[in-house]
Structure 1
């Protein structure tokens, strides 16, 4: 411990035991505990107490003081547990009978302070900390501590009850730790007395008719089996599994959710996973639990590796769930089989039916691809639209329950999208596309359902195989696209902005993937979609304008933006969207559209957009001029990204490589460097970058620093480039940068010469600046000394000027 902290400890301990000076901020006490834990983990706790006797005195005063606050009592109990976690310190504290006094009947446990949940919680957490070695078992076995832990499992405070259950599981594992060594499967009758008491208590709780008591026992066992994988746990499970099986025979099953958690915890144990009795219990649970309760258990089993019950689980849980809804399945569209009791119960409640179906759809992707599941998803979507024709009572009731259910529609569309990577019969794929198109066309589809339908449609379109021997789209697919784009036209005119936005997002993605396909280009240009996308640049909703910018960027990148001719004559003269996007960047009042414009411009520059390539310097100069003045930091940061792309291209750096790579970039020859620096000066890139170095938004300054470091590394020694080290140009630039650093950024740099730029770059400590910018926003001092000063200052022991904000 630092000497400065040791000097402050006596005053701190005096404050803690003085009821006239309560520490109101519990957060400071928590931070103190964290600090003490760090100190004890790094060294000897005994030495710490010997060098700071005020800490032992603090614990001793807790035993005799009757008017300490609950917060201080809780802090002291937890602090004692942290010290006693080391066996040597445990023995040291035992010499003074401190631990029995703090945790026994004569301590806070026997006084009025025990009524405070904070004290009971501190007592439990203190014991949890010290129960790290066999010596602690002697304290835990005496002074009625186990009985108190048993009672705390039923505490009115959920936090205390949960902590008591976890402590019980930990003590059971600790008591068996030494006994089980060398004994691969110790018999329960030979277990230590402490372990036998705990197991007996758990057995009694599992037999209890009170569901809360059963749940607490199950939670404790879940913790124990989840953290302890010793051989003796197999004996414990053999002993307790009959009681667990009896719970499954009750109607209703008590504490079903904690019971599922326990079974999954046991199934994940490497010691118990091969136990045949366990799998029989799991099978019994799946058969007796309701479908809603069994869902998490079935999912957990399916996630287990080498699980022999996977197919059984599918048959008994998901099969019962989806089987009647599959295309042609019994009891729905063509069968006459009567519904089971479970299905009858589900169909009697719309919430139960919807909840189970959504839960099942969310988990079934683990089993795809399967034609049964594809057909089931299509059928469910048809049921929700009312387009299915059930021939049974079950199917009719399902149609009534699911009609117009947005929750099921969203889940089914998500699931249908996950199945797009699988293979299925052509007739099923045709049905998939038909049902997706129907949802996109339907006036009853909600905005969120339409969004999910667009997403699922995109996934299916991109996964469809091309026609054999053809590099273009299949004719049937082109026909589907023509119908799809007709629907998209209507959706882009929707009065609901979320629908317009989803339509633009879909257009962007499908163009990004298929913009180079001649068949797609022909269908798209024959529609009104490009013109509508351009019109949405002036949409009143900012999100729509941003999506329109992105969509137009993709369309223009492939030469597919709107034409001045009619839609039926795609050969007409095309208008350039560049001016429209520059106008948005300069005038739009919202940040989202302007950010989208900068991303599009950067992508155009990187990909060599035709109009950008005509006069790249003029394009970059115009964009940087506007972006440098933008009030949105993300626009300025994206402007620096565009500047970096231009810099890399000017220096003939491949745009696909990462300029921030660890390996140093290759040095540019002096002649090419001189030409590149001239171009960079002409577009005023350096004024933008230098000003951004002192930007109040850290990400902007970081990106500028990385850009300049990249340029400096590419320049190398620069032997062939004449640098103006002491010229007036360098002095004026450095003077301007100094004014910018202190916030006076009105004066521009003016025209710069390459030599002056390189001289300034080499004179700046860019590496140091990068290190400073990399520090987090809370890099101010957070030392233990400042924490102790803050605690003391809060109660008036220190003056205000002696405290440091922690």
Structure 2
């Protein structure tokens, strides 16, 4: 510990021990505790206490009957645990102090125990203390384990959770030494603390009280999740019958905690591969839980890497049951999939769906969310029932809209429950968008192609004869690596329709895909769709358009998707005129995505230019909502880059054009009162400069000068930071031209002549890029200063090989005046501009400024001085008047 801190520590301990003094806030006490943790990790706790006896006096003073603050008492308990984590210091404090702090004579028997912060501090202190065998004997002797048992049911969730975590830690610490030397140790030979904890868990599992069962299951879940030693196998063999007996109760108690435990055991490397009946228990649990409770367990089983195929099939059936019931209730065939067919007859799922609106909505939303998580995983079931799932998602959306045709009383009841349900609409649209990833992908083959199959399919003639003679299913023989597929499709003849139908069924029949787009358009057209539903409908539509089959060698939308687009654009026009700003913003976001992907394709360009969408988008640049204006700026920037921004003629000047988009965006950058549109303008300008946009390339220097002048005065730090990004792009382009024309660029040891370098830096000086960068170097917002520092370091590195000759040839520019101005700027006086700079001056200043040191200071943070322990102690003492006001560093 620093001598300065040692001098301040006695006064601080006296303040903390005095109930009449105002107590420091929790933040200061947390920082103080973190400081002590750092000290004890780096050195001896015993030496620290011997050199600073005031700390022991503070811990002893806490035990005196007085009206001490609960936060100071909690701090002292945690501090004692930190010191006692080292065994020699534990022995030093064990005499009377630790038993009184953590035993009955201490806070446990006093009025302060009613404060949750004191109980939490007691638990955290023991958690820090329990690091060595001596601590285990102490816990067993002082009765702390029994107290931890009772705190599992504490009214404070934080205290209850911490108590459970502490039990897991004590159990693992008890078994730590024995696990290595005696891997086959029986449960009866376990240490005292471990036997006591396991006995308590067994007692809780036998209980009829659900809270006690939940506590025991939670402790076991954490244990198997963190400990993978051999003793955990012995523990599971001992407790698994008790866990399995919970399934005999109706209803199953603490079902969610039971699911968490079984999945934690299944993920444990030592248990999942052992013959301990785990898979049988999982199968029984799936059958005994309600549909709502079984869903998370089914998803967890399907996510496992090593799991019996029979159990995976059972889990997938349970996961699909709610959607299968929906298909059956609406009179739809679940399809040829055996999985969907076996999932349709579950009466419990039907009862759960029809019990109430809340239960129906919750079960369907969870099912859709689980399948959405499962779909992209490599270990998902194969074959994947793409068509039935598509049908179920479409049917749910139709039920919510009231456009479905139920074929039974169950279907009509479902329609009544789901009509207008926004939650199910959002979940179904998300799932529908996820299913679009399957479009155009071949089904996973049920088995690899055998050599005999490959031989038969070696030629088209044998393929046709094989099909005709024995009726072999093409889907069973399909292998996507075969090059004859394209030839077979192009061959024609009587097989063309059959082969084409097969490949259409790979991602679902065209009728079903058409139905998907129909229901999406229905939602986008409907005036009843909420803004959040519309946003998800736009997202799902884009994903389906993006995944539509492409013609080989063509990136454009396929014909059916173009037809959808032509129907979609009038809907988008309507939404861009919506009175709800969220809807207008979602429409612009959708247009941005489409333009980014298909802006260069003829079909999309023709359809877009034939609509009113570009004109409406330009009008939204003046929208009253700033988010919409920002989105409109982004879209207009993309449209202009793709040549899709058609400037209309003004009524006053039929032969002329309105002001250009560049002028419009500059106006927004200069006058908009909100930061979002101005940030969007800077991002568009940066992209335009990278892409050599026509409006920028015409007079790049004038463009840069105007934008940097405005950006340097902006009050939004993100706009200034984006201005530096724009400056960096211009800098790279300018120096790139210099290096490409420099005859010495290939030979680094030879310095480039000064003339080309000065010529390359002149444009940067003319647009006042360096004044902008130097001013940003001392910006009050650290990200701006860091970005400026990086830019200037990049420039110095790029010009290092040529700056020497340039420096020698310069005719005495006034570098001192620039350096003086920078010093004033650093002091906060940034009123005086630098004026016109010459390249020689810029390079000289770059060499004189300590950019590396400045970057290090910026990375360290502005409050590194105030974070010092000495500053913390001074601040805590100053708040109670022990120190003078001028002796405090912060606050």
Q: TM-score, normalised by structure 2?
A: 0.83
1:670 to 1:57, Cα distance in 2 relative to 1, 3 A: same
Aligned residue for 1:356?
A: 363
Residues 662-694 of structure 1: per-residue CA shift (max 9 Å, x gap): xx9999764432222111222222222222223
Aligned residue for 1:199?
A: 198
1:573 CA displacement:
8.8
1:108 to 1:678, Cα distance in 2 relative to 1, 3 A: closer
Query: Retained in 2: the 8 A contact 1:692–1:704?
Result: yes
Aligned residue for 1:229?
A: 228
User: Which structure 2 residues correspond to residues 690-769 of structure 1 after superposition, within 5 A?
Assistant: 690-716=774-800, 717-722=802-807, 727=812, 729-769=814-854
Q: Mean Cα displacement is larger for which, 172-181 or 449-458?
A: 172-181
**Count, aligned residues:** 790
1:444 CA displacement:
1.9
Aligned residue for 1:425?
A: 508
Unaligned runs of 5+ in 2: 335-340, 376-383, 440-506, 651-655, 740-747
Q: Mean Cα displacement is larger for which, 60-69 or 46-55?
A: 60-69
Aligned residue for 1:659?
A: none
1:133 to 1:514, Cα distance in 2 relative to 1, 3 A: same
Aligned residue for 2:122?
A: 123
User: Which structure 2 residues correspond to residues 284-303 of structure 1 after superposition, within 5 A?
Assistant: 284-303=284-303
1:274 to 1:636, Cα distance in 2 relative to 1, 3 A: same
1:404 lines up with 2:404 in the alignment: no
Q: Mean Cα displacement is larger for which, 7-16 or 721-730?
A: 721-730
Q: Mean Cα displacement is larger for which, 677-686 or 624-633?
A: 624-633
Q: Mean Cα displacement is larger for which, 762-771 or 307-316?
A: 307-316
Aligned residue for 2:614?
A: 530
Aligned residue for 1:481?
A: 565
User: Which structure 2 residues correspond to residues 596-745 of structure 1 after superposition, within 5 A?
Assistant: 596-652=680-736, 670-716=754-800, 717-722=802-807, 727=812, 729-745=814-830
Which of 398, 405, 409 aligns to 1:389? It is 405
3-state secondary structure, aligned to 1:296 = helix
Which of 527, 549, 561 aligns to 2:645? It is 561
Query: Retained in 1: the 8 A contact 2:598–2:604?
Result: yes
1:319 CA displacement:
1.8
1:158 lines up with 2:174 in the alignment: no
1:794 to 1:690, Cα distance in 2 relative to 1, 3 A: closer
Query: Retained in 2: the 8 A contact 1:602–1:645?
Result: yes
Aligned equivalents of 1:775 and 1:257: distance in 2?
A: 46
1:62 CA displacement:
4.1
Aligned equivalents of 1:643 and 1:459: distance in 2?
A: 36
Aligned residue for 1:134?
A: 133
Aligned residue for 1:660?
A: none
Query: Retained in 1: the 8 A contact 2:24–2:876?
Result: no
1:616 CA displacement:
1.7
Aligned equivalents of 1:102 and 1:471: distance in 2?
A: 73
Residues 149-187 of structure 1: per-residue CA shift (max 9 Å, x gap): 333333344333333332223222222223333322322
1:241 CA displacement:
1.9
1:144 to 1:589, Cα distance in 2 relative to 1, 3 A: closer
Query: Retained in 1: the 8 A contact 2:572–2:587?
Result: yes
1:243 CA displacement:
2.0
Aligned residue for 2:882?
A: 797
Aligned residue for 1:373?
A: 389
Aligned residue for 2:105?
A: 106
1:781 to 1:723, Cα distance in 2 relative to 1, 3 A: farther
1:118 to 1:706, Cα distance in 2 relative to 1, 3 A: closer
Residues 542-594 of structure 1: per-residue CA shift (max 9 Å, x gap): 2222211111111111111125489xxxxx99984222222222232322222
1:61 CA displacement:
4.1
Aligned equivalents of 2:750 and 2:415: distance in 1?
A: 67
3-state secondary structure, aligned to 1:601 = helix
3-state secondary structure, aligned to 1:258 = helix
Tell me how large the CA RMSD over aligned residues is: 3.0
3-state secondary structure, aligned to 1:466 = coil
1:201 CA displacement:
1.7
Query: Retained in 2: the 8 A contact 1:22–1:69?
Result: no
Q: TM-score, normalised by structure 1?
A: 0.91
Aligned residue for 1:787?
A: 872
Query: Retained in 2: the 8 A contact 1:454–1:502?
Result: yes
1:519 lines up with 2:535 in the alignment: no
Aligned equivalents of 2:61 and 2:553: distance in 1?
A: 89
1:460 lines up with 2:544 in the alignment: yes
Aligned residue for 1:169?
A: 168
3-state secondary structure, aligned to 2:58 = helix
1:354 CA displacement:
0.9
Which of 499, 502, 520 aligns to 1:436? It is 520
Aligned equivalents of 1:463 and 1:703: distance in 2?
A: 39
1:39 to 1:748, Cα distance in 2 relative to 1, 3 A: closer
1:728 to 1:178, Cα distance in 2 relative to 1, 3 A: closer
Q: Mean Cα displacement is larger for which, 10-19 or 378-387?
A: 10-19
1:106 CA displacement:
3.3
User: Which structure 2 residues correspond to residues 276-355 of structure 1 after superposition, within 5 A?
Assistant: 276-308=276-308, 311-326=312-327, 329=328, 332-333=331-332, 340-355=347-362
1:53 to 1:442, Cα distance in 2 relative to 1, 3 A: same
1:263 lines up with 2:262 in the alignment: yes
Residues 414-442 of structure 1: per-residue CA shift (max 9 Å, x gap): 11112222131242322222222222122
Query: Retained in 2: the 8 A contact 1:302–1:313?
Result: no
Query: Retained in 2: the 8 A contact 1:725–1:759?
Result: no
Aligned residue for 2:248?
A: 249
1:739 CA displacement:
3.7
Query: Retained in 1: the 8 A contact 2:321–2:346?
Result: no
1:213 lines up with 2:212 in the alignment: yes
Residues 23-78 of structure 1: per-residue CA shift (max 9 Å, x gap): 34343333322222221111122222232333334334445555544334333332
Residues 325-379 of structure 1: per-residue CA shift (max 9 Å, x gap): 34xx576435997761331232121111111211221221243364132232222
User: Which structure 2 residues correspond to residues 6-25 of structure 1 after superposition, within 5 A?
Assistant: 6-21=6-21, 23-25=23-25
Residues 225-251 of structure 1: per-residue CA shift (max 9 Å, x gap): 222222122222222222222222222
1:190 CA displacement:
2.3
1:602 CA displacement:
1.2
Aligned equivalents of 1:236 and 1:141: distance in 2?
A: 21
